[in-house]
Structure formats: structure tokens, C-alpha cells
Amino acid sequence: MLTPRWAADRFTLLTLALLVLVTAAAWAGVVYQAASMAPMDMPGMDMPGMNMPRQTPTARPLIDVAGLVPFVGAWGVMMAAMMLPSALPLILLYRTAASKQAAGSSRLLPTWTLVGGYLLVWIAFGVPVYIASQVVDATLASETALVRWVPYGVAAVLVAAGLYQFTPLKRVCLRACQSPLGFLMRHWRTGRFGALRMGMEHGAYCCGCCWALMAVLVAAGAMGLTWVLLIALVVAAEKLLPWGQWATRATGVGLLGLGTLVALQPQLALLLRGQAP
């Protein structure tokens, strides 16, 4: 007969194994997406002026509603791959605490409700990303004179993201991500709906911490695989390493420097997006 302690450990190991499998499957999906389409081919990711000159565009809706669902689906897979590893300490700590209030197979459900709430916030974040990219695409397609300013827009995103790394809001959100125990103590709620709400609250802190990096991923990196890997590593370093604050500052300095270089040498924007000048 299993002792209660061993049973708890067994559920923790099962939760960890399932999280690893989900994360691995998400990364496989990201790699498949990268292999099957160029970054510019993703719905909402086309950027006129960063490719070869095109013919006069035909009239089209400002926002392609039909492309929203596939984009958000691809975005959700990408966020699961990038963000679940850094959320792992919180998820496992919550599972341990919640297991004292549940028994049997119901021990796993609140944990995955927490995970679902966390990912739901990041999936929702993909909606404004898609809308913004559609608006930019339509604006550049109709105003060809703006095309030459696209690299400077990329530079502005890099500089803004670099500056955000030093803001008080970044520090507040990062502290919540770095201290899962502190977060649980301040935001603990019981039950499945409580787990859902806690997951969404932690996801909100995570978005507050990383939204600028995601802006860099979309604007400068065109959601390419190299940028996905790089930003996932930056996020993990900021949240999981003891010197995460230094990683945040170093990333900020790097983004500021890169943005300045792109402003001085606009052709670098093409290289960042995986295109030949």
C-alpha cells in the first residue's frame, strides 16, 4: 500500500511528466510551423517593404477575420513552448499545496485548470498582436510612401523593449514570476475556479513581464524559430536564475544597442527578420 507521502510524490512526478510532454509537443509544433512556412507567410505577419517590390495591391478588408483563428492557434502553441518551462516552479508548487485539499484523480484537475488559465491569457494576447499586424500590413499596402520607414519602426520597437526592461512595472511583474511561493501566498484561492483565476492572474503578471519581448519577436524577428528560441531562453533566465535581474538589465542594454544599430543601418532590419538585404 502506497504511503500518503509516496502517493503525493507520484502525482507530482506524473504532473511533471505531463508538463514535459506538453512542452515537447508544443516545441515540435513550433518547429513544424517554422519548417512548413516562412515567417512572412504566417497570417498577419506579412510586412510590405521588407520583401521584394510588389504590384499595386487590390482592395482588401482592414482585418482578415478568417485568419484570426489559425494565427491564434499557432500563437498558442508557441506560447506553450516558450512560457511553460518558466512557469514550471509555480505549477508544481501549486500542485503540492492543492493536493492537500483533494484526493484521488481529482488532485490533477485543479493543476491543469491553473495551467489552462495561464495559457488562456497568453492565447488572448495573440488577438491584439494579430489585429495590430493586420492594421500595419493594410496601412503599408495602401501607403507605399511609408514602406521606407519600416526599418525605423523595427528600431523603435527594439529601443522601446529595451527601455521597458528598466521600468518599475517590469520589476513588479518579474518579482511575481520569480517568487511562485510569494505569489501563491498572496493570491491563493480554493477550488477549480480559484485555480483558473490564479492561473489567469499569474498569466497577467507574465504578460506584464514579457510583452515587450513578444513585441520584439513579432516586429523584429518575424516569429522566426531562432528568435523564438532566443527569447524563450531570455524569459527562462529572467525568471528562473538567481541573477535574473541582471539578465533583465543585460537584455535591455542589448535591445537598446540593437535598436540603435538598426536605426543607423536600416538594412539590418532585413537580416533580423531572416531576409537577405
The string of DSSP codes covering the chain is ---HHHHHHHHHHHHHHHHHHHHHHHHHHHHHHHHHS-GGGSTT---TTSSS--PPPPP--SS-GGGHHHHHHHHHHHHHHHHHHHHHHHHHHHHHHHGGG--GGGGHHHHHHHHHHHHHHHHHHHHHHHHHHHHHHHHHHH-GGGGGGHHHHHHHHHHHHHHHTTSHHHHHHHHHHH-HHHHHHHH---HHHHHHHHHHHHHHHHHHHHHHHHHHHHHTTTT-HHHHHHHHHHHHHHHHSTTHHHHHHHHHHHHHHHHHHHHHSTTHHHHHTT---
Domain ranges, residue 141: 4-47+65-272
How buried is residue 120: exposed, middle or buried, by Cβ count under 10 Å (0-12/13-18/19+)?
middle
**Domain assignment of residue 211, yes or no:** yes
**Domain assignment of residue 255, yes or no:** yes
**Domain assignment of residue 72, yes or no:** yes
pTM confidence score: 0.85
Cell numbers for 90: 509555480
pLDDT score recorded for residue 150 = 86
Cell numbers for 18: 505531463
Query: Phi/psi of residue 54, each to 5°?
Result: -120, 165
**Domain assignment of residue 57, yes or no:** no
pLDDT score recorded for residue 193 = 92
pLDDT score recorded for residue 87 = 95
**Domain assignment of residue 277, yes or no:** no
pLDDT score recorded for residue 277 = 59
**Domain assignment of residue 105, yes or no:** yes
The domain total for the chain is 1
Mean pLDDT by 10 residues, the chain (277 residues): 51 87 96 74 41 47 81 95 95 85 61 95 96 84 76 94 97 94 92 93 97 93 90 95 92 96 91 72
CA within 13 Å, CB half, 107? 20
Query: Phi/psi of residue 157, each to 5°?
Result: -65, -45
**Domain assignment of residue 84, yes or no:** yes
Report the chain's C-alpha Rg in angstroms. 21
**Domain assignment of residue 267, yes or no:** yes
